[in-house]
Amino acid sequence: MILFIMMLGMAASGASVVFAKMGVLHPVALAAWRLLLSGAILFPWFLKDMKSMDGPFRLKQILPSLLPGVFLAAHFVFFIFGARLIPGAHASLITTLSPIFMPFLMFFLIREKITPWEILGSILALSGALFLGLKDSRYAAEYIKGDVLCFIGMLFVTLYLALARRNRKNSPLWFYMIPLYMTGGIICLVIAAAAGADLLPRSSDDWISILGLSVISTVAGHSINNFGMRKLRGQLVSLLNLTQILFASFFAFLVFAETPPVYFYPAAVLILSGPLLVILVNGRDKGSEKKT
């Protein structure tokens, strides 16, 4: 059941490419809207978690949410800038390359060692991603700027997810997530205002972009991702994130008629084989443990 929920989250997150490209609102202002609206929607669950905790509320209780909020804000800004410069499938590809770095962060933060099967799954998935990236660079060299921006965004989201894994026992999910969203939103709002960016949506596409990124990609997608980091191994969640490439490609085709090149499909098979291998092995190992 948890894997089904995770795949719903991957689909919701994969749709973010379409919503990011749909409007023309300044990326920092769009990130502010996305985070603040998400925090407002989920605020009743924050109050529920707060009431369930022992003792009175103290500001220091939300301190673990602040740094991840900064990282998530940076990820959204770089991702939106980059996604508007390159096709959806390629933006999603670069943004979901966290398996390269996640094992090292997991070991550094919580001493979670990567298993041999996770290493093999990572190699399979990343070989597909590398193949796609190399072919893409030859196919469209003008996408370099968008690629770099999305890569920086990927580094920030990897840090954000790694901290979610480390902080999983500090507080309930929504008590952790809502201050995180609000922190990121306030930071983006201040930066956008200081830069003189237009903060108000000017078209229906801008509103669709805001609502889609907030309700679908953040309230559903990122919240499910954080839920997964509490229930599953960090590297498995990181590998599952690679499936966003396929969802992003499908949605970009439906909305913008962006057809992936032929070489995308063998790369997709390799990318999907990584998390599938880890899931099957984990399921087999758990079954063996129950028998013994």
Q: pLDDT tens, 231-254? A: 887 767 877 877 888 888 889 889
Report how far apart, in Å, the C-alpha atoms of 92 and of each of 38, 45, 110, 244, 289 are: 21, 30, 27, 7, 36
What pLDDT does 200 receive? 92
**DSSP code at position 25:** S
pLDDT at 286: 55
Average pLDDT over residues 262-282: 77
Report, as an integer, the average pLDDT of 87-115: 77
CA–CA dist 278, 58 (Å, integer): 40
- Token pair for residue 216? 């679908």
257 phi, psi to nearest 5 deg: 60, 35
The total number of structural domains in the chain stands at: 1
Higher pLDDT pick, 105 / 76: 76
Structure tokens belonging to residue 253: 């085709």
Could you tell me which residue, 143 or 291, shows the higher pLDDT?
Answer: 143
Identify the pLDDT of residue 15: 92
Provide mean pLDDT across the span 96-115: 75
Burial of 240 (0-12, 13-18, 19+ CB in 10 A): buried
Q: Which residues lie closer than 8 Å to 272 by C-beta, 6 or more apart?
A: 125, 128, 242, 243, 246
Contact call for residues 272 and 144 (beta carbons, < 8 A)? no
Banded pLDDT at 78 (limits 50, 70, 90): very high
Residue 80 predicted with pLDDT over 60:
yes
- pLDDT above 90: percentage of residues in the chain: 35
Average pLDDT, the chain: 84
What confidence score (pLDDT) does residue 227 get? 84
Range from 28-37, 52-61, 77-86, 253-262 that averages highest in pLDDT: 28-37
Q: Are 261 and 108 in contact (CB under 8 A)?
A: no
Give the rounded distance of the alpha carbon of 60 from its chain centre.
Answer: 26
Give which of 150, 137, 145, 18 is closest to 95, Cα–Cα.
Answer: 150
Q: Give the structural domain span for 165.
A: 2-291
Residues 6+ apart with CB under 8 A from 130: none
What lies within 8 Å, CB to CB, of 1 at 6+ separation is: none
Summarize pLDDT for 160-214 with one digit per residue, the tens: 888 887 887 778 889 999 999 999 999 999 999 998 999 999 899 999 999 999 9
H helices of the chain, where?
2-14, 16-22, 27-52, 63-83, 88-95, 102-110, 116-139, 144-166, 173-194, 204-211, 223-231, 234-240, 244-256, 264-291
pLDDT above 60 for 267: yes
